[in-house]
C-alpha cells in the first residue's frame, strides 16, 4: 500500500511504525473471510482491509476525525483473527491501537459516550471499586428499564453474586511443593480477581503442585489492556511501567523464570510491553525483558508437564473455546488442548473456532448488539459439540458465554487443577448438584 505521509508526520514514532505496517498490506482481502464484523455486516468498511484504508486516510490527513471513521474503527473487536489469516504479516494490532489513540486525541465523542468510557476505564481496572460497583449493580437490576440505554448492558453482565476478595491476590510468595523447578510471578489482574477469584487460586495450586514458586508481586496490578483499547495511552503505559518495575524487583531479589498470565487478554498486552514502551528511555530494556518472560499459564504447564491425573475424575466431554487473544494474539493453540487431553477430558472442537465470542474487553458493553449476535453464534456452535462443560483461558470470554450457556463454563486451569488433586470447579459442582 502506498502512503503519503510528510517527513514531519514520520518524525512521530507511532506514525513511523504505522507507515511501515500500512506498506506491508497488499489489499488481498484474505482477512475479510475471518473478520467477525464483516461476516455479520458484509460492509467492506467493517473489515480489516476497510479499516486499514480508514486509518491510513485519517493519519495522513490529520486534524478532526470523521464520525463515520470512528464508527467503523469502534466496531473492531481487536480479535486479531485477521493477523492469523494475513499472508503478508500485517501487524493490524499495532495499527488499530494507534488509530484508537489518534481518535481519542482528535475526536470529541458525545458526552454520554465519553462518560461511559471513562466509567469503564476507571472502575474495571480497580478491583475494590469494581467489587463495590457490582454489588450496587445487583441492587439496581430490578430498575434496569429506568436506566439510560447505554448502561443496561453493564447490568446485564453483572453477576448475581459477587464473591469475596481472595487472600491469594495479596502480595506474597507461595512455595513450591517438592523440589523447586521454576520461580514465576503471577499477574493477578483486575476484573478477573473480582469476577472469578477461584481462577487465581486454582492457578497457584496447580503451579506450586508442579514445582513452581509463585510470587504475587507488590505494586503489580492491571495490565493496562482495557484502557489501551479505549485509546487512552497514558494510563495504559502507567499500568505497564508499574508492572515492569514490580516484576523486575522480583527478578532482582531471587531470579524469575516466567511471568505467568492466566487471562489471555492480559497476556497479549504484557507480551507487547516491549513495543509499547520502546521509546521510554528509563524502561524500554526492562519492558522488553518482561515481554520475553511473559507466558500464558498453559505454556508454562506444557513446559512442566502435567502430573498423572487423579483416578476418580470423570471423563467429561469438554468444548475448548479458544480465546481470540490466545489463538490469534499469542498464537497459543496446541498447549491448552494437549493439557486438557492429558488430564483425561474428552475434547470437542467448536465449529467456527476462529470467530470471536463478542466479549473483547469492553466491546460487549460499548457494542452490545454486535457482541450479542456473536455470542449467540458462538453458543449455537458450542451446542453442536454436545459438550458437558466449556473450557476457556480468558475471563472476558467466560463472562460473555456463561449467562446463556446450558453447561458450566470454567477456566482451563480449574480443570487441570481438579484433575491433579484440586477441588472440583464450583460451576461443575453446582451443575452436578442440580441434576
pLDDT in tens, 249-268: 999 999 999 999 999 999 99
Residues 87-113: b if buried by 16+ CB within 10 A, e if exposed: eeebbbbbbbbbbbbbbbeebeeeeee
Residues 89-106 pLDDT 10s: 999 999 999 999 999 999
For position 237, which CATH number holds? Answer: 3.40.50
Task: Determine the average pLDDT of the residues in 16-44.
Answer: 94
CA distance 181 to 429: 32
Q: pLDDT tens for residues 54-73?
A: 999 999 998 899 999 999 99
Residue among 117, 264, 121 nearest 187 (CA): 264
Write out the residue range of the structural domain in which residue 223 sits: 167-302
- At 153-203, the pLDDT tens digits run 767 667 778 889 999 999 999 999 999 999 999 999 999 999 999 999 999
The per-residue pLDDT for 212 is: 98
CA contacts within 13 A on the Cβ side of 224: 25
Alpha helix segments (H runs only) across 42-148: 48-61, 67-74, 81-85, 92-106, 111-123, 127-140
Average pLDDT, the chain: 93
Same domain assignment for residues 310 and 263? no
Same domain, 126 and 174: no
- 1 within domain boundaries: no
Per-residue pLDDT band for 146 (boundaries 50, 70, 90) equals low
pLDDT at 198: 97
Q: How confident is the model at residue 133 (pLDDT cuts 50, 70, 90)?
A: confident
Residue 147: which pLDDT band, with cuts at 50, 70 and 90? low
Strands 172-174 and 212-216 come out as: antiparallel
Length of the chain: 435
Beta-carbon contacts of residue 164 (< 8 Å; ≥ 6 apart):
197
Indicate whether 298 and 178 sit together in one domain: yes
* Strand order, beta sheet including 346-349: 346-349, 317-321, 389-392, 409-411
| Among 153, 161, 168, 154, residue whose Cα is nearest residue 131 | 161
Per-residue model confidence (pLDDT) at position 410 = 97
Query: Quick check: is 380 in a domain?
Result: yes
Instruction: Indicate whether 317 and 344 sit together in one domain.
Output: yes
Q: Are residues 209 and 292 in the same domain?
A: yes
For residue 294, what are the contacts with CB-CB under 8 A and spacing of at least 6? Answer: 258, 259, 261, 267, 270, 271, 273
Are 280 and 383 in a shared domain? no
Tell whether the model's pLDDT for residue 415 goes beyond 70: yes
Band (417; pLDDT cuts 50, 70, 90): very high
To 5 degrees, how large is the angle CA 402–CA 100–CA 321? 25
Average pLDDT for 318-337: 96
User: Is there a single domain that holds both residue 217 and residue 188?
Assistant: yes
Looking at the fold, whether 327 and 342 belong to one and the same domain comes out as yes
Please give the radius of gyration of the chain, using alpha carbons only, rounded to the nearest integer: 21
Q: 115 and 97 in one domain?
A: no
Domain count within the chain: 4
Report yes or no on 2 lying in a domain: no
Confidence grade of residue 82 (pLDDT, cut at 50, 70, 90): very high
Among 127, 157, 187, residue at a domain's last position: 157
Are residue 142 and residue 244 in the same domain, yes or no? no
Q: State whether 80 and 144 are in the same domain.
A: no
Amino acid at each position: 500500500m502506498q502512503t503519503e505521509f510528510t517527513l514531519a508526520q514520520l518524525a512521530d514514532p507511532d506514525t513511523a511504525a504505522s507507515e511501515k505496517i500500512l506498506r506491508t498490506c497488499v489489499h488481498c482481502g484474505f482477512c475479510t473471510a475471518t473478520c467477525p464484523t464483516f461476516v455479520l455486516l458484509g460492509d467492506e468498511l467493517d473489515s480489516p482491509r476497510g479499516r486499514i484504508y480508514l486509518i491510513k486516510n485519517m493519519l495522513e490527513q490529520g486534524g478532526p476525525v470523521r464520525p463515520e471513521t470512528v464508527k467503523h474503527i469502534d466496531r473492531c473487536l481487536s480479535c486479531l483473527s485477521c493477523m492469523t489469516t494475513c499472508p503478508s504479516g500485517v501487524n493490524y494490532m499495532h495499527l488499530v491501537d494507534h488509530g484508537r489513540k489518534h481518535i481519542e486525541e482528535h475526536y470529541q465523542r458525545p458526552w454520554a459516550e465519553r462518560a461511559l468510557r471513562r466509567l469503564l476505564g476507571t472502575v474495571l481496572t480497580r478491583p475494590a471499586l469494581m467489587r463495590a460497583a457490582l454489588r450496587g449493580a445487583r441492587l439496581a437490576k430490578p430498575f434496569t428499564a429506568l436506566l439510560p440505554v447505554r448502561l443496561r448492558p453493564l447490568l446485564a453482565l453483572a453477576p448475581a453474586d459477587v464473591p469475596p476478595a481472595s487472600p491469594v491476590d495479596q502480595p506474597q510468595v507461595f512455595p513450591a511443593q517438592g523440589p523447586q523447578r521454576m520461580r514465576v510471578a503471577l499477574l493477578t489482574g483486575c476484573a478477573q480477581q473480582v469476577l472469578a477469584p477461584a481462577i487465581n487460586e486454582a492457578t497457584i495450586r496447580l503451579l506450586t503442585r508442579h514445582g513452581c514458586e509463585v510470587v504475587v508481586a507488590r505494586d503489580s496490578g492491571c495490565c493496562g489492556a482495557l484502557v489501551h483499547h479505549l485509546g487512552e495511552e497514558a494510563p495504559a503505559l502507567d499500568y505497564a511501567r508499574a508492572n515492569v518495575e514490580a516484576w523486575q524487583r522480583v527478578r532482582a531479589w531471587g531470579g524469575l523464570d516466567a511471568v505467568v498470565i492466566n487471562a489471555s487478554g492480559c497476556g497479549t498486552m504484557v507480551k507487547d510491553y516491549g513495543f509499547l514502551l520502546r521509546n521510554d528511555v528509563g524502561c524500554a530494556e526492562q519492558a522488553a525483558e518482561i515481554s520475553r518472560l511473559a507466558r500464558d499459564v498453559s505454556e508454562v504447564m506444557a513446559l512442566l508437564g502435567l502430573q498423572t491425573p487423579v483416578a476418580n475424575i470423570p471423563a467429561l466431554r469438554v468444548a475448548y473455546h479458544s480465546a481470540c487473544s490466545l489463538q490469534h494474539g499469542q498464537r497459543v493453540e496446541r498447549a491448552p488442548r494437549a493439557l486438557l487431553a492429558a488430564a483425561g477430558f474428552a475434547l470437542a472442537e467448536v465449529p467456527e473456532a476462529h470467530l470471536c465470542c463478542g466479549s473483547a474487553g469492553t466491546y460487549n458493553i460499548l457494542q452490545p448488539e454486535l457482541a450479542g449476535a456473536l455470542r449467540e453464534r458462538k453458543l449455537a456452535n458450542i451446542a453442536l459439540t454436545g459438550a458437558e462443560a466449556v473450557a476457556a483461558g480468558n475471563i472476558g470470554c467466560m463472562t460473555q458465554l456463561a449467562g446463556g450457556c446450558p453447561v458450566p463454563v470454567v477456566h482451563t486451569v480449574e480443570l487441570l487443577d481438579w484433575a491433579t488433586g484440586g477441588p472440583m470447579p464450583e460451576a461443575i459442582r453446582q451443575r452436578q448438584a442440580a441434576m
